[in-house]
Amino acid sequence: MRAALVLIDGARADVLRELLARGDLPNLARSVIEPGSLTTGTTVFPSTTGVAYIPFLFGRYPGSVGIPGIRWLDRRGAAGNWREQWRAARSYCGPQGGLLNSDIAPAPSIFDLVPDSIAICTPLTRGLPAGGHRIPLRRVILGAAAHYIGTYPALDRAVASAWLDAANESWRFLFVVFPGVDGISHLKDPHHPAVLESYRLVDRALGAFRARVERLGGEPPVFFVVSDHGMTVVREHHDTATFLESIGLPTLRHPTHVWRRGARAATMVSGNASVQLYFDPRSGRDTPRTESEIPASVLERLLASPAVRLAACRAGNGGISVRTRKGRARLSEESGLIRYEPQEGDPLGLRGSVELDDREMLSRTRDTDVPDAPRQLLQLFQAHRAGDLVLAAAPGYDFRGPWEIPEHQAGHGSLIAEHMEVPIAASVALPDAPIRTVDLMPTILERLDVAVPRGVMFDGVPASRITGVPEPLAR
């Protein structure tokens, strides 16, 4: 048995379904969905490239392995010399990209557990055998060109061609990443004709790969076709860093202010619709701040912005405090139960106090505007490196100014449904219950009949064990 996991970065579940309905993705329909299934799952927070690959390749939440975002601040390093300050302002979008592999806490990747693995165009390579990462150089060169001048089709075609070549080889697990849908969506919008053409390119690549496998007399692998996050159009940029500067807080930020003198705050943006804030970043204090240690006037002013769907921080008593302009609630987890206790208003839209186990909570939140928010906020703040405060953007907003090159016309990273919901297609049956991307790796290992070593734990659950979850309550 072999498995191929195809990741269409930034593919929206609704766009994929529309294209399928129009007959535009015939290979995905015939080779994957007709014999198997298609569902809409949820990804992780922050819903951003790289970070949101961790569930697929480690079976863990990013917060469980110490990665709170595509950018984050190392509190201790930020108080060091100029070199340490640069390194402390971590950003995987650029020369520090490779650090993602070593920053992830010790845990086996799927490549460690399935040694006969090949991966094409991935930022996460930990555990791959020598030569197992295909087109690494073209990924860097074509990827940089695509980022600045928009030539994503050339990058996607290189991926398709490497995928076709892999049909002739022996492997048990194949991971293929197509960056075009995400990249072109950022430059235009998630429904632009050029974006739709990127979905079709992936479909043609799937058809060509399958045809070659069959011509060589092989059995097609079990296919999983997924995305790591959705996307929405950005109507207004609300740059958190320039806002903090405007109220008198010098702010450490990327790309050129990582050495900001006298910094009183640091902003680390993911996606760009989420941001983590760190207060007094030059103090050398390693302990994250709790709610009462966050300047209340700054928090109130941030919450007053229409760009902010919610803010969250560590409550003093071990839980998480969720804030909106008019609402406040506490999240906590004890003895396998997640508890949501609104104190003012109802920030997560759950209509009162709720205490449920993990899968029931997923199901219960699935139809809110912030699906899986309780689990996702709890997992993020497991990471010591997570900010003192995190903001998730409302639809239509992001947290980086129009100065970014190139300017983001669309984005992701927030907890909102349009960013959290992702298509999950498989050539085998998927459970008729809400699932998360973190459930995929245990599901694939089960399909491949790979024994999980003792002591290795996953945050996800194999599909075969996801049953009996009640339907979301009618709203």
| Strand (E) or helix (H) holding 112 | helix 110-113
Site for Zn ion in 32-71 (CB under 5 A): 49
b/e burial code for range 157-168 (CB count within 10 A of at least 16 → b): ebbbbbbeebbe
SS3 content of the chain, % helix, strand, coil (to 5): 35, 20, 45
Number of residues forming the site for Zn ion (CB under 5 A): 2
Q: Specify the residue, 177 or 354, whose C-beta has the smaller distance to Zn ion.
A: 177
398 lies in the binding site for Zn ion (CB under 5 A): no
β-bridge partners, 42: 421, 436
Site for Zn ion in 329-368 (CB under 5 A): none
Backbone angles phi, psi at 45, to 5 degrees: -110, 130
- Ranked by CB distance to Zn ion, the top (closest) residue is 182
Q: Specify the residue, 185 or 324, whose C-beta has the smaller distance to Zn ion.
A: 185
Q: How far is the CB of 52 from Zn ion (least distance, A)?
A: 10
Q: Specify the residue, 123 or 347, whose C-beta has the smaller distance to Zn ion.
A: 123
The correct pick among 74, 182, 203, 291 for binding Zn ion (CB under 5 A) is: 182
- Taking contact as CB under 5 A, which single stretch among the options 73-81, 177-185, 203-211, 392-400 is the one that binds Zn ion? 177-185
Q: How far is the CB of 10 from Zn ion (least distance, A)?
A: 5
Say how many Å lie between the first and final Cα of the chain, rounded: 42
Q: How far is the CB of 404 from Zn ion (least distance, A)?
A: 12
Q: Specify the residue, 53 or 173, whose C-beta has the smaller distance to Zn ion.
A: 53
Backbone angles phi, psi at 416, to 5 degrees: -70, 155
Q: Please, where are the H alpha helices in 265-420?
A: 296-303, 358-365, 373-380, 417-420
User: What type of residue sits at position 306?
Assistant: P
The 3-class SS string of 263-277 reads CCEEEEEECECEEEE
- Taking contact as CB under 5 A, which single stretch among the options 181-189, 197-205, 236-244, 252-260 is the one that binds Zn ion? 181-189
Q: Specify the residue, 7 or 33, whose C-beta has the smaller distance to Zn ion.
A: 7
Q: Specify the residue, 182 or 280, whose C-beta has the smaller distance to Zn ion.
A: 182
- Taking contact as CB under 5 A, which single stretch among the options 33-41, 114-122, 178-186, 191-199 is the one that binds Zn ion? 178-186
CA distances from 73 to 89, 277, 280, 321, 386 (A): 5, 9, 12, 21, 8
Q: Residue 346: left (phi > 0), alpha (psi -120 to 50), or beta?
A: beta
Q: Specify the residue, 49 or 151, whose C-beta has the smaller distance to Zn ion.
A: 49
Return residues touching Zn ion (CB under 5 A): 49, 182
